[in-house]
Every structure is written in structure tokens, then in C-alpha cells.
Structure 1
Amino acid sequence: MAAHRRPRQHPFRSHTARTAAIVALAGAATATGFDGTGQAEPRPTPTQVRTRVDTLYREAETATQKYDGAKEKADAGERRLNSLRDEAARKTQKLNSARNALGSIAAAQYRSGDIAPAWQLALSSAPDRYLDAAALAERVGDRQSAAVSQVRRQLQDIERLRGAARVELKSLRSHQAELRRQKKTVSGKLAEARRLLAELTPSQRGQVTGMTGTDDTAAGRASRAADDTRPALEAGAVAAPDSRAAAAVAYAFAKLGSPYVWGATGPHAFDCSGLVQAAYRSAGVSLPRTTYAQIDAGHRVSRSELRPGDLVFFYSGVSHVGLYIGDGRMIHAPNPSAPVRVAPIDQMPFAGATRVV
């Protein structure tokens, strides 16, 4: 009888299989923590969330100011482009009229046969009348030459306008691309902030955003904002430097509780620079759109010299602005988690102040 032998296992395959099994078991043990439960990443604490959300809001506000600046340039560029196009259209209409007039003159000359003046004089039965007609024709010729020169100038003007329009269009498209980039940045930062806040309980979210009250409706926010104004109103120790500053402060008080919306300039929602711009616009003063430009819209004043109506700026990048109301306080549009409200100016790193002139 033939002997039956068990097939021998290849030593290398056996060792590899054992090693794979050990690695798999070790991995499973690590994944389950040896007790059958996965080790999920710990959720951030409310303090950590607040730190991260504050950072996201600052970064979003910096991008918002860049967006506002790009939008201001894009809007101005679009107005200039439309003006150039309108002017080119008007000049083109005049050019077409001049061309038509020249065409009529040329057709009349063709029909007359254009006989040489010397032969016309020799063949004329009335030389005196011919000479009078020749003098008139010479004057008409001068006017015709002037008309041709005018057409040439109009053509040059139209080409200049078209060239300027091409340059303006290129600049406009660049500003529009910058708008899209900054809009994407702002939207991304705010979306991440909303995601972090959504993971908190309502009470934790109130602690992070500073909205600890239970009424988070627009009316509730406005009521709390009005309550915040009382200490400032009671202070009233320092008057506004002029009627325009006083009018700007009054406007800001009237907008307490309005929502923060990035890129908004009122009348129902604002970002930080949009609020101070709208406040002074109500007083008949035109301010630039961005914090970077607003800080140079008047003369600088020190913190100790602040008076109601002064613009107060924050952070090293001058990315936030508020309207000073006295007693070390301001009205500002903080961020999407809080409405227009009163706040102490030492709440953020002070960067400078400007008195509007």
C-alpha cells in the first residue's frame, strides 16, 4: 500500500501567516482599546471652541474687509466702463452722421462729372457767374476738408475710448476674481464656526457667543442691546465734538440689535465698517468702505483723547472698527453670532482711533 503523507507547510508561508494574524489582532486591540469600544477623538471644550470660533471670526472679518474693498473697486470700475461705453456710443453716432454727410458730398461730385476748373471757365457762357460759383465751391471744399479732419479726429477718439474700455474691463475682471476668492474664504470660515457652535449645547453656545439669555429672537437681541446702552447713556460726561459726530452716534444707537451680515452697509444689517460708514452717511459725511481706508479718513487721536463719534480700530491688521460713544465704550457690529451692540473698547486689542473731519 502506498504511504499517505500530510503535505508539508512551507516554512515561509507559515511564518507570514502567523505574523499577519498577530498584526491584525494587535490592530484590532488598539482600535477597540482592549475593551470593545472605539477611541473617538475627544470633543473640544467650550473654551477651546470659543478660542477657535473667535479666530475664525477674526479671519473672516479680515477677508470681509478685502471683499468690501474689492467690491468697491469693482463697482467703481463698472461705472467707469459703462461711462466709457456710453461716450463711445455717442461719438460713434456723431461719426456715422459725419460719414453720411461726406458720402452725400462725394456722390454729388461724382454726378457733376468733376470737370477741371480751367476747362469749365473756358467753356462757360457766363464767366462771371462761373467765377462766383467757383469761389463758392472752394469754400465748400474747405468745409469738406474740415469735415474729413473731424471724422479722423472722431475715429481717433473712439479708438482711444475703446482702448480705455479694454483696460477697464481687464481691471474689472481682476477685481471680480478677487471678490470670488474672498467670498469663498469668508464663507468657509463662517461655515466652520457654525459647525463648531452647532456641536455645543444651547447654554454652552450662549457662553461662547456671549448671548446667555434664553430669548435669541431679533426682539430679544434688541432688548439686550438696549439694556447694554444704559451705562453709556448715563455716563454722558463727554460731548461729541460736532453735530455730525452726534448724528452718527444717534444713528448707531438706533441700529442696536440689527444683525451682522458680512458685506452689508444697512439699513437693516451691517458688517463692522458698513455700520460706521452708514452712521456717518446719515450725518452727510462720506466715509470709505473698508477699515483700512477709514482709519485715514480723519486725523488720528490717542486713546486718552477719545470723544463720541470717533472711529476706534482693533487688531494689528486694523480689521475691525467701532463707533466710540464715551465712557470707554463703543457701538459695533461684532460678528455673525451677535447683533450690533455696545461693548467696552478694551474687549479687543486696540489699534488706533480717528476723528472724522
Structure 2
Amino acid sequence: MGTHRRPKPPSRALTATLGMAAGAVSLLPTQSQAAPKPTVDEVRKQVEKLYEEAEAPTEEYNEVREEEKKLQGEVDSAQDRLAGKQQEINELRGKTGPLAAAQYRSGAIDPSVQLFLSGDPDDYLDKAEMLGRTSDRQADALRALERKQRELTQERATATQRLKALAEARTKAGEKKDEVQGKLRQARTLLNSLTAEQRARMEAAQERADAASGSSDAPADYNGPAGGRSRTAVEFAYAQLGKPYEWGSTGPNSYDCSGLVGAAWRSAGVSLPRTVKQMYDAGRTVARSDLQPGDIIYWYNDNQHNGMYVGNGKAIHAPRTGKNIEIVPLDSMPFFAASRP
């Protein structure tokens, strides 16, 4: 039998190399070494940022929806006109006798009528009358029919253009809606990552911050100096205190920021455009030093967020998803401008 030989021990160099490799492997991330969950304060800041980022596309969505309503009205009008023109043509066809019947119904028309279709109808009719081929009454009817047919063709082209624009507006509105809902989903996911205790802690911290800043969403009666339409608008806004913010909403149970401002002034008989940007462009700019209750306040920029001045350095606004209509100090957000309807 051969001699049993013991395995040769590894060299010192190999031992050192293996040791280094083992050390390196131990430094690789493992599931137990996953990145720590964000703190409650970090979640709060991320959620606030997401809600803020959702405001601009919310206003863009509102603008597209207004355009969509306008286009739908134009499409409906065009279709009504089409139906009217078609009815007029049907009545004219009944008056043009066998010639019109052949021309518009069967397509089997004699050579003289083919000339009418392919050449200059007016010139043909003049010659036909001279030759006695058609009566004055028939000629007038055919001319009217040809004119109505041209109008019908134009109406169809207009309706087609409006329908295309409407489809494009709907697509754009859908994209903006998806963008807003994506931001809100991210915010909800972050909030759901907190434990019940953490969420309670975060809400308590928010309440303390609101109290410190003087914000209020408890129902209240307005007893300030506003008069006339401005008072009506401010009183309406006060009556909405405590109702929830909801993107794209104009009431009566919830509002977004421009939805609240528009509804308040609408209650006073003043019609405002739908979005923050449109309201800013349509209003008369007023200096901060000249603010009066009812004036529209714009924060951050001219298209992101607005509310209404109520006096004493405060404003009422629909803040963001997850919060209710409230009264806040004018400088609770970066003041940008003010306008008067």
C-alpha cells in the first residue's frame, strides 16, 4: 500500500490572501446592513416636497380641463351646424327634381349633368338655361344646393379640427393627471412606511407648527372691514374653513387653491378664470402695502399657489393634499404678488 500523505498546509502567503478575501467579503453589504429607514422628520420633508411639486401640474391640469370644456362646446356647436346644413340640403334635394335626384342619389347621371359636377357649376347653369335644358327654378335650386354642399364640407372640416384638438387636450389632461397622482402615490407610500406611533408624532409636530404660525382651519365668521362684493367673497371663503383640499376640485365639499378663490368670488357675482396663472394675468396688480380683504395673494410665483387676503396680515387658502382650508399669516409662504379682481 502506498504511504498515506497528509495534505500540505497552505503557505503563509496563501493564508494571508485568504484572510484578506474573507475580510473583504465581510465588508460587502448584506440585507442586515440595508440603508436605514428615513427618520420621521425626513419623511415629513419629503412628503411636503412631493405635495409642493404636485401643485404646478395640478394647475396645468386645471387649465387643460378648461380648454377641454371649451373645445367640447365648439365640437357640439359644429355638430349642430352640420346637422342643420344636412337638413337644408335634404330639403333642397327634394326641390330639384329628377336632375338633383340623379346627381345626389344614384350617381347615374347624363353627360350634361357630369359637366355640372366636374366643371364650373355656375357657368354650366347659365349655358343650360340658355339652351333650355333646365328651368330657372331648377337652376336656382341647384345653385343653392351647390352652395350648401360647400358650406357642409367646410363645417365638416371645422368639426374634424375641433375633434382632433379635443382629443389632444384629453391626452394632455391625462398626462398631467398621471403626474399629479404619481406624486401623491409617492407621498402616501412614504407616510405608510411610518409606524402608527411615528405618524402620530409627525401629526402632533405639524399641529404645533401650525399653532406657532397662527394657522387656523376652525369654522369662523368674518368680522373684518371688507364691504360689498369683497365681503361676500371673503365670507364665502370663511364658510369653507375646515373643508379638505382636493386637487382639481372647485367645491362644494372640497377645493384646490384656485378652486377656492374662484368659488369665493363667483359667490359675489364675479367670474374668474380657472387657474392661478390665469387669475394672475387677468387681475389688476396691487402693491402689498395697498392690500384689501378679498385681494388674491400669489405665493412662490405666478402659477403655483394662491389664496385670498382677509386683513390683519392674514390670508385664507386651500393648502395641499392632506390638509384643510385654513387661515395663515401672509408670510407663511414666500409672498410673490397680489391682484384685485
Q: Specify if TM > 0.5.
A: yes
Q: Which amino acid aligns with 1:98?
A: L
Per-residue deviation, 1:203: 2.3
Per-residue deviation, 1:277: 0.8
**Do structure 1's residue 309 and structure 2's residue 294 form an aligned pair?**
yes
**Do structure 1's residue 99 and structure 2's residue 93 form an aligned pair?**
yes
Deviations 1:310-343 (A, max 9, x none): 1101112531010111111111100111111111
User: In 2, distance between residues paired with 1:146 and 1:18?
Assistant: 109
User: In 1, distance between residues paired with 2:256 and 2:315?
Assistant: 15
Identity of aligned residues (%): 39
Q: 1:266 is matched with which residue: 248, 251, 257?
A: 251
Please give the residue correspondences for 1:37-76 in structure 2 after superposition, counting only pairs within 5 Å.
38-76=32-70
Per-residue deviation, 1:209: 6.8
Per-residue deviation, 1:55: 1.7
User: In 2, distance between residues paired with 1:84 and 1:21?
Assistant: 83
Most deviating of 63-72 and 171-180: 171-180
Distance 1:19 1:149, change over 3 A: farther
Distance 1:207 1:107, change over 3 A: closer
Distance 1:19 1:277, change over 3 A: farther
Most deviating of 64-73 and 315-324: 315-324
8 Å CA contact 2:96–2:138 kept in 1: the answer is yes
Q: 1:183 is matched with which residue: 153, 177, 200?
A: 177
Q: Which amino acid aligns with 1:342?
A: I
User: In 2, distance between residues paired with 1:279 and 1:194?
Assistant: 30
Other-structure match for 2:238 = 253
SS at match of 1:313: strand
Q: Which amino acid aligns with 2:271?
A: S
Distance 1:308 1:22, change over 3 A: same
Most deviating of 154-163 and 200-209: 200-209
Other-structure match for 1:90 = 84
Most deviating of 53-62 and 191-200: 191-200
Other-structure match for 1:203 = 201
Other-structure match for 1:225 = 217
Per-residue deviation, 1:187: 0.5
SS at match of 2:309: strand
Structure index of larger Rg: 1
Per-residue deviation, 1:91: 0.6
SS at match of 1:201: helix
Q: Which amino acid aligns with 2:25?
A: G
SS at match of 2:226: coil
TM-score normalised per structure 1: 0.75
CA-atom RMSD, angstroms? Answer: 3.3
User: In 1, distance between residues paired with 2:100 and 2:33?
Assistant: 93
Q: Which amino acid aligns with 2:238?
A: F
SS at match of 2:251: coil
Q: 1:239 is matched with which residue: 208, 218, 226?
A: 226
Please give the residue correspondences for 1:131-150 in structure 2 after superposition, counting only pairs within 5 Å.
141-150=135-144
Deviations 1:281-325 (A, max 9, x none): 111111100000001222110111111111101112531010111
Q: Which amino acid aligns with 1:339?
A: N
Per-residue deviation, 1:74: 0.9
8 Å CA contact 2:307–2:318 kept in 1: the answer is yes
Other-structure match for 2:107 = none
User: In 1, distance between residues paired with 2:61 and 2:17?
Assistant: 58
Distance 1:326 1:4, change over 3 A: same
SS at match of 1:331: strand
Other-structure match for 2:307 = 322
Per-residue deviation, 1:56: 1.2
User: In 2, distance between residues paired with 1:225 and 1:301?
Assistant: 27
Moved segments of 4+, more than 6 Å: 1-8, 17-21, 105-108, 209-213
SS at match of 2:88: helix
